[in-house]
Structure 1
Amino acid sequence: MAGNDRPRAIADVSAGTILATVTIAVPPERVFRAITAADQIPLWWGADDMYRTTKHTADVRPGGAWRSEGKGADGRDFHVQGEYVEVEPPHRLVMTWRAPWDGDQVTTVTYTLEPVETGTRLTLRHEGFGARHDSCRDHGFGWERVLGWLGQFLAAEAGIKPSGVFHCRLIPPRPDFAFTLTEEERALMGRHADYLRTQLREGRMMIAGPVADPTGPWGLCILRVGTEAEARAVTDADPVVRSGRGFRYEVLPMMSVIM
């Protein structure tokens, strides 16, 4: 399996809802255990420069209670707790969330785990913030960190090395290709777009699109996979390359990435 992708969280403060996603390179069963088992959560939830979860109790069934306790980097104790609403291993977990630092307001967290070719696509929805915009925004930042810790823990356990990022330039068969498409070529580009959407959905691609180069447009695709060989396997399987019409990719590893 390739490495994890970068977790992303969006806080829609007007709706009082957070949506966060990450692809983790292990099966859903392993991810589900990591987010529910009392002996698992203290192993990964937290960082020394922020806070550490030191104890977790969980009665993992509808109506069962859960509680996490820990200590912040400033030495202060904290806890958060709630009840399980839906438990459908290994694909869905719904629970309430109540934290003293949030005024003991009750919100709802839903985990959805979907198997994908690269492992598990985890989608988290945290809702019920109402007009508490700052709390919604802060929890969004927090969930992005938490899903990152989860992914790092499971990848390290599985012996998966961090993935690389690759700049892939798709060079068309002629400089004016974007402006002189035949109907057959237009259909081919539709299949190309569908292929890239699959790479995005399965966690291998970060972004893609045409670049308006004055010397002639070309396609850009940024991949996050384990090795250059894996990146080339993705580009070689692109329908435009397989068509034999003169498309080719240049694949270069990025030395560093700011995200």
Structure 2
Amino acid sequence: MTTATKKRSARAIADVTQGTILATVDIAATPERVFRALTSPEEVMRWWGSEETYRTTGWTVDLRVGGKWRADGRGADGNPFSVEGEFLEIDPPHKLVQTWKPEWDGGHATTLTYRLEPIAEGTRVTVRHEGFAGRSESCRMHAEGWESVLGWLDEHAGSEEASAPSRFFLCRLLPPRPTFAMDMNAEERAVMQEHVAYWTGHLHAGTAIVFGPVADPSGPWGLGVVRVADEAAVRALEAGDPAIRSERGFRYEVLPMLQAVTRG
């Protein structure tokens, strides 16, 4: 068993015999805040990485059980990389389980579990990364990596700047026809079920504030209000929506809100 070098308040232990990593950090923020930092694409790209190591340049997510995720980035040496996986369990804001398959690790898939526990000082984040049996060097390297990652997460989620209000946008999902809500077929109904699961995931992550169908006399349409960094983040959310990806004639209208009053 080896212990990675301690950095900041984050620490990690690699059990190379079992092929398991345990890492933890205490963050001065609520579990809801930390969960949003872990699952919101615009936030992940702000904090995951550093100039001297690598930067995450793209992060796409379908936040539902069975949904896919993918991160793209570029190392300090300029070389690109990617890692992807699938969500196995989602219990906002307490637990997130996903597979982890980095291209640099020979295509091996491992399982990653985040647990977020409320404590007096904020949130204790515990990472369990397993599936490295027989690959001790990869286990050690990932343990060192998790100390850095949890340190970055701590700096981001625990800072006042990270907690500052983002911009709010109103999104309208316009259906292929005015009568869609009344006469959708089985395939279209399946698309809408995926759409609802997609937005539910963003609701749990704190990106979506509210969403649902609007009974417009000229034909129902979908409404969503989101809190994101900028319009580019809304467009990324739009591109990932199963309704848009289905290519069945759905389209978004996105309007920035001049002001938003929320409960907190």
Q: TM-score range by the shorter chain?
A: 0.5 to 0.7
Q: CA deviation at 1:159?
A: 8.1
Determine if contact 1:29/1:90 at 8 Å carries over to the other structure.
yes
Q: RMSD over aligned Cα, in angstroms?
A: 1.4
1:32 aligns with 2:40: no
What count of residue pairs does the alignment treat as equivalent?
156
Letter aligned with residue 103 of structure 2? P
In the TM superposition, residue 38 of structure 1 has moved relative to its aligned partner by 1.2
- CA deviations on 1:10-36 (whole Å, 9 max, x unpaired) are 000000000000000000000001011
Alignment partner of 1:11: what SS?
strand
Write out per-residue CA displacement over residues 109-146 of structure 1, whole angstroms, 9 at most, x where no aligned residue. 00000000100000000000111000000000000000
Instruction: Please state how far the C-alpha of 1:155 moved relative to its aligned partner.
Output: 2.2
Instruction: Map 1:1-259 onto structure 2 (within 5 A).
Output: 6-157=9-160
Alignment match, 2:252:
none
Instruction: Check whether the contact 2:85–2:100 (CA below 8 A) recurs between aligned residues.
Output: yes
Contact conserved, 2:156 with 2:162, CA < 8 A, in 1? no
Q: In structure 2, give the amino acid aligned to 1:139.
A: H
Q: 2:154 corresponds to which letter in structure 1?
A: G
2-side partners of 1:120 and 1:81: how far apart? Answer: 26
Between 45-54 and 148-157, report the one with greater CA deviation. Answer: 148-157
Letter in 2 for 1:44: W
Could you say what secondary structure the match of 2:17 adopts? coil
TM-score between both structures, scaled by the size of structure 1:
0.59
Taking every aligned residue pair, what percent have the same amino acid on both sides?
56
What TM-score do you get using the length of structure 2 for normalisation? 0.58
Instruction: Tell me, in whole angstroms, the C-alpha distance in 1 between the residues paired with 2:136 and 2:45.
Output: 29
| Structure 2: segments with no counterpart, 5+ residues | 1-7, 164-264
Deviations 1:152-206, CA, capped at 9 Å, x for gaps: 112223589xxxxxxxxxxxxxxxxxxxxxxxxxxxxxxxxxxxxxxxxxxxxxx
CA distance in 2, matches of 1:129, 1:86: 20
Secondary structure at the aligned position of 1:14 is classed as coil
Unaligned residue ranges in structure 1 (runs of 5+): 161-259
User: Is the CA contact 1:26–1:158 (under 8 Å) kept in the aligned structure 2?
Assistant: no
Asked which structure has the greater CA Rg, the reply is 1
**3-state DSSP of counterpart to 1:39:** helix
> For 1:66 and 1:155, how far apart are their aligned partners in 2?
24
